[in-house]
Amino acid sequence: EPEVTQTPSHQVTQMGQEVILRCVPISNHLYFYWYRQILGQKVEFLVSFYNNEISEKSEIFDDQFSVERPDGSNFTLKIRSTKLEDSAMYFCASSEQTGSIYEQYFGPGTRLTVT
Amino acid sequence: AQSVTQPDIHITVSEGASLELRCNYSYGATPYLFWYVQSPGQGLQLLLKYFSGDTLVQGIKGFEAEFKRSQSSFNLRKPSVHWSDAAEYFCAVGPHNTDKLIFGTGTRLQVFP
C-alpha cells in the first residue's frame, strides 16, 4: 500500500540553524500538507501546497518557514533560523484532492529537537 | 473558533473490554469529522470519517463512531479491544471550504492482557 515517507525520523539542531525536513508524498497525490505537534499539545496545521504554490497557511507559518517541491517526488519544509519553540513532531501529509473532506495520508513524522 | 476537545489524555483498558474515546467539537455547522490512530513509529492512519447521513459510522479495525449533533460529540467505540489497539487516537474536524484539519490533543490507549 502506498505511503508517505519522511526523513529524517529525528533531527537535532542548534538554535539559529537552518533545517530542512523532507517528505515523499504518495506518487499520484497532488496536494501536500505540513502539520506539527509540540509535545503535549494538539496537532496543528501549518500549510497546504498545490501546483507549486501555497494554498493555505496558518498564523504559525511565518517568514521563518518555507515549503518547496524541488522535484517530482519530494516535498520539503525549511525552517530558516530555528528557535527553541520549534521543537516538535512535524507531520507531512498528502491527498488526491483539495478540501478537508478528502482523506489526508500522513507520514510517520520527523521529531525536531532544537537545543 | 473551531476546536476539538478530547477530555481523556490516557485510558487503560483490559483486553476484551469495551472502549469509548470521547471527542467534542466546536463548529458553527456540521463539520467533517475524523478519527485517526497513530501507532508507535507510524503515521496517522484514518480509522473512520463522517460527512453526512447515518450518524453511526463504521471504520476499519472494528471501530465505530457516533455523531451526536445535540452534544457536539463524535465518540469512538469498539466492543472488544485487542492488545494491538494500543496507540494514540486523534479526533479531528475538517471545516468546510478549507484544506486543514483541526485536531484534538489525542488520547493514549493502553491495553492490559
Q: What is the pLDDT of residues B46-88, one digit of tens each?
A: 999 998 889 999 999 999 999 999 999 999 999 999 999 999 9
Residues of chain A in Cβ contact (below 8 Å) with chain B: 3-4, 9, 31, 33, 35, 40-45, 48, 55-56, 58, 91, 93, 98-101, 103-109
Integer angstrom CA distances of residue A15 from A7, A39, A66, A82, A83: 20, 18, 17, 5, 5
- Nearest residue on chain B to A40, alpha-carbon basis: B105
List CB contacts (< 8 A) between A43 and chain B: 44, 90, 92, 101, 103, 106
Residue B8 predicted with pLDDT over 90: yes
* pLDDT above 90: residue A4: yes
With CA atoms as reference, report the closest residue to A106 among A28, A35, A9. A35
Each residue's pLDDT tens digit, A8-23:
999 999 999 999 999 9
The mean-pLDDT minimum among A38-42, A56-60, B99-103 falls in A38-42
Distance (Å) of CA B86 to CA A81, A92, B36, B77: 37, 23, 13, 14
Determine if the peptide bond prior to A8 is cis (ω within 30°).
Answer: yes
Name which of A96-100, B7-11, B19-23 the model is least confident about: A96-100
B98 three-state secondary structure? coil
Q: Where are the beta strands (DSSP E) in B45-106?
A: 45-50, 56-58, 64-68, 73-78, 87-94, 102-103
Nearest Cα residue to A32 out of A62, A77, A63: A77
Task: List chain A residues with CB under 8 Å of B104.
Answer: 42
Mutation pick from B99, B102, B103, B105 vs chain A, by most beta carbons of A within 10 Å, is: B99
**What is the reported pLDDT for A94?**
95
Predicted confidence band of residue B109 (pLDDT cuts 50, 70, 90):
very high
pLDDT of residue B28: 76
The three cell numbers of residue A74 are 519530494
pLDDT at B97: 79
Q: How far apart are CA B44 and CA B89, in angstroms?
A: 9
Instruction: Check A45 against B45: CB less than 8 A apart.
Output: no
- Least CB–CB distance from B46: residue in A44, A98, A103: A103
Measured in degrees and rounded to the nearest 5, phi and psi for residue A55 equal: -90, -40
Distance from CA of B51 to the nearest CA of A (A): 7
Q: Reply yes or no on whether the pLDDT at A85 is more than 90.
A: yes
Cβ burial B48-79 (10 Å sphere, 16+ → b, else e):
bbbeeeeeebebeeebbbbbeeeeebbbbebe
- Alpha carbon A52 to its chain's center: 15
Closest chain B residue to the Cα of A43, Cα to Cα: B103
Angstrom distance (rounded) from CA B49 to CA B93: 9
Answer yes or no: are the C-beta atoms of A44 and A35 closer than 8 Å. Answer: yes
Whether A52 and A74 have beta carbons less than 8 Å apart is answered as no
